[in-house]
Structure 1
Amino acid sequence: MRCKKLTLVLWLILIGSVGFGIYKNFTAIDIHTVHETEIIERQIVDTNKVESFVESFAKDLFSWQQSQEALFFD
């Protein structure tokens, strides 16, 4: 009997909260968002050093070969 009362109370809370959410959705005040536009000046960034570093690193990485002597230490 106690389980039925608890279930009924929980259902009432659920239905009440959903009903309140629907009520708040329909009665909400419309607030208009102000969209400001800002012009950002372009800046030229020199990436030549980074590009040359990446290219030389890739060349070194893909041309590197392991030797058997380098793998085993005495």
Structure 2
Amino acid sequence: GIIFVANGVYHATTKENGEASSLLNKTLNLYALSEDIQTRGMKDADVDKRVRVVNYSDVVDLIFNEYDKLAWI
């Protein structure tokens, strides 16, 4: 899965021209951190429907319970 954090949350939204990031076409579980979305002046509703909006607690659960490997890029 991919968790969009910091400026990465821009990949989780549909752009003004209606286009979406190519990352949203991946057959993965996609998540975006709500706090980072709101910090950038967006709303959770701005996030593409293929992306699940999560909070910090959810991210911790995902990291420790759902995935065996983690890469920060």
Both proteins in one fold, TM over 0.5: no
TM-score of the aligned structures, taking structure 1 as reference length: 0.18
Query: When you count helix as a share of all residues, which structure comes out higher?
Result: 1
Point out the structure with max Rg over C-alpha: 1
Higher relative contact order (CA 8 A, sep 6+): 2
